[in-house]
Amino acid sequence: DLLVVGSANADLVIRVDHRPAAGETVLGSDLATHPGGKGANQAVAAARLGARTALLARVGDDPYGRLLLDTQRASGVDTDAVLTDDGPTGVALITVDRSGENSIVVSPGANAQLSARDVRAAEPLLAAAKVVSVQLEIPLDTVAAAVRTAAAAGTRVVLNPSPPASLPADVLVACDPLVANEHEAKLLLRRLPDGPPGAPESWAEGLLALGPRSVVVTLGAAGALAADRTGMVRVPGVPVEAVDTTGAGDAFTGALAWRLGAGDDLEAAVRYAVRVGAAAVTRAGAQESYPTAAEVTGR
């Protein structure tokens, strides 16, 4: 029912006292290796909630690629459309300092090889899905091909513009919704991070003016805002003890895409996704922190 088209990365994490400056060497913790990448995260989030989910992605024929495939399958994601590349699996080198701030270098690896041709070859999958969910950690041509192919087949498109990049007008118009956090919303609206703040409602208006059928702006602990041409609603956050917000946005978007495909209206889907995002921040890690449906309805 849900097809995620996107990235799969191994997240390599080392904790340090302070992050090294240019030319500096620091000693850190043992290396922790976690499955990650926005596409892989969204697929696991949805599958763990009970969604019938498939992933279209590329990994390398190496241990990180196998780790990613194994965790997708263990979560119940259909990986038949995950292609294996000659080059290395994508990795994110992450250092986290004592205050929890991170610095990240991403090497796209196999993600950079996921092509418009791969998307066209998977056209039957895109057409059969209720919703296709896309993010921008794969080439923009591939994103555009996925959105256009899905839209032509009448499949609903959910798009998270992360990392932010400018998109062709027809791609933006097909998004229903465009899902952005505050940072992404500001960049898409070309507002400087420290520019005049404005209320999130004005960002949602601005994003709607870019053409998508609907917009969701996630607001961290404050929840999310859902907007379309008929109106706007603010969904408050669920108060929780936040331990680690890594991958919360991906859990939110995976859950949202699934609920929309299952027939929820935008507000109902956002209410559910806000609870999934809140559950995801109460535990460490990204995919490891994602809740089951019972954990979401139980809170």
Question: Which residue numbers are catalytic?
Answer: 250
Please report whether residue 272 would count as binding ligand ADP according to CB under 6 A: no
Determine whether the annotation assigns residue 112 to a binding site: no
Determine whether the annotation assigns residue 9 to a binding site: yes
Decide whether 152 or 165 has the Cβ nearer to ligand ADP. Answer: 165
Q: Shortest gap between Cβ of 84 and ligand ADP (angstroms)?
A: 29
CB-based closest residue to ligand ADP: 249
Task: Figure out which of the listed residues 78, 139, 237, 264 binds ligand ADP, where binding follows CB under 6 A.
Answer: 237
With left for phi above 0 and alpha for psi between -120 and 50, is residue 211 left, alpha or beta?
Answer: left
Please report whether residue 238 would count as binding ligand ADP according to CB under 6 A: yes
Q: Shortest gap between Cβ of 125 and ligand ADP (angstroms)?
A: 26
Task: Figure out which of the listed residues 16, 83, 93, 240 binds ligand ADP, where binding follows CB under 6 A.
Answer: 240
Which stretch, 4-12, 120-128, 204-212, 215-223, contacts ligand ADP (CB under 6 A)?
A: 215-223
The residue count for binding ligand ADP (CB under 6 A) is 19
Q: Shortest gap between Cβ of 218 and ligand ADP (angstroms)?
A: 3
Residue 144 CA: distances (Å) to CA of 40, 198, 217, 224: 19, 30, 21, 26
Cβ–Cβ under 8 Å, residues 178 and 166: no
Decide whether 4 or 125 has the Cβ nearer to ligand ADP. Answer: 4
Residue 170 CA: distances (Å) to CA of 71, 105, 160: 34, 31, 15
Decide whether 66 or 191 has the Cβ nearer to ligand ADP. Answer: 191
The contact set with ligand ADP (CB under 6 A) reads 181, 218-221, 223-224, 237-238, 240, 242, 245, 248-249, 252, 274, 277-278, 281
Annotated binding site: 9-11, 37-41, 137, 181, 218-223, 244, 246, 249-250, 280, 283, 285, 289
